[in-house]
Each structure stands twice: as structure tokens, then as C-alpha cells.
């Protein structure tokens, strides 16, 4: 079985959770990893089982041929898949995804990244080492602006492009509050009982997928919108000047959010989160049973042949 996920040129924390999490849960069943893109829709081996876990990857790039498992993915980009009902759907990320794909509401659970709780402890408040941390969206990491701004404002910077998943999870869990532009930064924060504040500074922010996830925990997505900057060519001196001013405004906005801290932070109800964790554990057991049964069936057919 191949795990399919979206791969960026540089590592992106949320997507790379697939490489970290699934081998630890269902390692023996995984034969490799595959990139979710236009090419995969037409070149995938129809005889190979494909696994769709963490990510906003339920779209028409899913191959129509072959067996597929949906285990917590979401919809939110591109064209809807043509025949998602033919897949083995354990659950999807949220009710907005279920509605968009004409699935029954009971197929909505939450993002499978909450399963990280089975591998890392919740850090006690007295043991946390960062008063406030910031994790930008991977697409807004351009140059050294955010890292430098955080250093000057005494905010702990968490790199969304870090390849060290263990370290990133521990940094988030060891924070008293997280300013999150990266959705999976917020998901991990909530999972480890770290209050979080959503901000947005890039056009790549996808409100649909945030609402899809937040809705599963009874939360409303209301990000603080930061000053947008121009993606300007180097020879556009006027826009470069405006960008310099806008970056100063961004730094001021970050300082204001950090100062507000817990007054603007969100955190789901622990009972709601725990109920989702229990339901997720049940889904993992069902997944293991399904893979075991499928493996036995394949072995039987092979021996008869």
C-alpha cells in the first residue's frame, strides 16, 4: 500500500506528518509513498492500494482505477473527485468535506493528526519553555523576515519547513500559546492543549479547510488578517518600497497579537477532543482489521492460483 500525500519542493510540516505518522501506526502495510499531483492520476498502478491520510487532497487527481483508502483527508482545492464513493472511506476531515463530496455526516470526524497524542505527552504548564511561539504558513517563509521578527520580539519561531517532525511537535507542545498561520500547527497545538491564535498573511490561506477542521471541535475560524505584501519583480522599485513598509506593519501586527496572547487564543473543549481521540482509535482498529482481512484474502487467492 502506498501513502499518497502532497509534497512541496521544501518540506511542509502538515504534509510530512504522513511520512512520520503512518509508518508508526501501520508500518508493515506500507510499501512506499506517492506524490499527489496531476501525473499520479494517470500513471498510478491500478493494482496497488492507495492510502489518503493527512492533507487537503480529495480532488480529481485521485486515480479512478484501483483500490483507495480514505482515512481523514479533506476537500478544499481544485475539482471534486468524480467517484469518491468507490473508495473505502473510514472518515474524512470534517462536515464541510462530507457535504461537498455528498457523503453522510457520520463520515466526518476530525484531522488524523490528533493521533500524534499516542506518541507524545501533553506537557504540563509548569514545564513549558516558550511563553509564545509563531508558526507561519510554509508559503509565507520568504527570506528571513519571520524568523528575524520573532527574534526581535522575543517570540519563539517554529519553522514549518523543518524536516524534524519530532522536534516541531515538541516545540509546539512546549509552548504556552501558539500564533498559527500553518493549520497543522494549530491542529497539533490544540491536540496538545496549547491555546492558539489563527492569523493569515498569504493568499494561499484556505478558509474552507480551516472551517472544515474547526467545525469538528465546535470552534469558529476567525483569523487575524495581516498586511499582504506584493509578490513583485526585482525591478519594481516602487513595490519594493511599499513591501518594506508593509513588512514593518506586519511586525507591528505580530507584536500586537503576541501581546494579546491568551485574550485572543482558542482551545477546544477537552471532552470534545477526547471523544474524537477515542473515535480515531476505533478507526485505527478498523483500518488494521481491514488491511489484515484484505491481506488474508490476497494470500488465499494467490495460493489457489
What lies within 8 Å, CB to CB, of 66 at 6+ separation is 44, 45, 46, 47, 48, 49, 50
- 120-263: CATH topology is Rossmann fold (3.40.50)
Q: Which cell numbers in the block locate residue 261?
A: 496572547
CB 108 within 8 A of CB 98: yes
Specify the 3-state DSSP secondary structure of 5: strand
CB 261 within 8 A of CB 178: no
Q: At what angle do helices 145-153 and 237-260 cross, to 10 degrees?
A: 40
Instruction: State the virtual CA torsion across 63, 67, 72, 73 in degrees, nearest 10.
Output: 0
pTM for the whole thing?
0.93
What lies within 8 Å, CB to CB, of 181 at 6+ separation is 134, 135, 136, 137, 140, 198, 199, 200, 201, 202, 205
pLDDT attached to residue 37: 81
| Distance separating alpha carbons of residues 266 and 95, to the nearest angstrom | 20
pLDDT attached to residue 40: 65
| Distance separating alpha carbons of residues 229 and 246, to the nearest angstrom | 6
**In tens digits, what is the pLDDT along the chain, a chain of 305 residues?**
999 999 988 889 999 999 999 999 999 999 999 999 877 666 567 788 999 999 999 999 998 888 999 999 999 988 898 878 789 999 999 999 999 999 999 999 999 999 999 999 999 999 999 999 999 999 888 888 999 999 999 999 999 999 999 999 999 999 999 999 999 999 999 999 999 999 999 877 899 999 999 999 999 999 999 988 877 655 678 788 888 899 999 999 999 999 987 678 999 999 999 999 999 999 999 999 999 998 876 544 444 44
Amino acid at each position: 500500500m502506498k501513502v499518497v500525500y502532497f509534497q512541496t519542493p521544501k518540506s511542509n510540516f502538515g504534509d510530512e506528518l504522513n511520512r512520520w505518522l503512518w509508518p508508526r501506526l501501520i508500518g508493515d502495510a506500507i510499501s512506499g509513498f506517492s506524490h499527489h499531483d496531476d501525473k499520479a492520476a494517470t500513471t498510478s498502478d491500478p493494482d496497488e492500494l492507495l492510502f489518503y491520510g493527512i492533507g487537503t487532497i480529495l480532488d480529481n487527481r485521485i486515480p479512478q482505477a484501483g483500490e483507495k483508502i480514505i482515512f481523514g483527508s479533506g476537500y478544499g482545492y481544485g475539482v471534486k473527485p468524480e467517484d469518491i464513493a468507490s473508495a473505502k472511506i473510514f472518515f474524512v476531515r470534517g462536515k464541510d468535506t462530507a457535504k461537498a463530496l455528498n457523503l453522510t455526516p457520520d463520515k466526518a470526524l476530525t484531522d488524523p493528526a490528533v493521533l500524534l497524542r499516542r506518541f507524545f505527552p501533553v506537557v504540563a504548564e509548569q514545564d513549558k519553555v516558550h511563553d509564545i511561539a509563531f508558526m507561519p504558513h510554509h508559503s509565507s517563509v520568504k527570506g528571513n523576515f519571520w524568523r528575524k521578527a520573532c527574534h526581535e520580539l522575543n517570540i519563539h519561531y517554529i519553522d514549518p519547513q523543518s524536516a524534524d517532525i519530532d522536534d516541531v511537535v515538541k516545540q509546539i507542545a512546549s509552548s504556552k500559546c501558539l500564533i498559527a498561520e500553518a493549520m497543522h500547527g494549530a491542529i497539533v497545538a490544540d491536540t496538545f492543549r496549547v491555546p492558539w491564535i489563527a492569523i493569515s498573511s498569504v493568499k494561499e490561506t484556505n478558509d474552507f479547510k480551516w472551517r472544515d477542521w474547526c467545525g469538528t471541535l465546535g470552534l469558529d475560524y476567525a483569523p487575524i488578517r495581516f498586511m499582504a505584501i506584493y509578490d513583485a519583480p526585482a525591478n519594481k522599485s516602487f513595490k519594493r518600497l511599499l513591501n518594506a513598509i508593509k513588512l514593518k506593519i506586519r511586525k507591528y501586527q505580530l507584536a500586537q497579537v503576541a501581546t494579546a496572547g491568551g485574550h485572543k487564543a482558542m482551545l477546544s473543549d477537552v471532552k470534545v477532543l477526547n471523544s474524537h481521540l477515542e473515535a480515531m482509535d476505533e478507526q485505527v482498529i478498523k483500518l488494521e482489521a481491514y488491511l489484515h482481512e484484505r491481506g488474508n484474502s490476497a494470500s488465499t487467492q494467490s495460493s489457489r492460483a
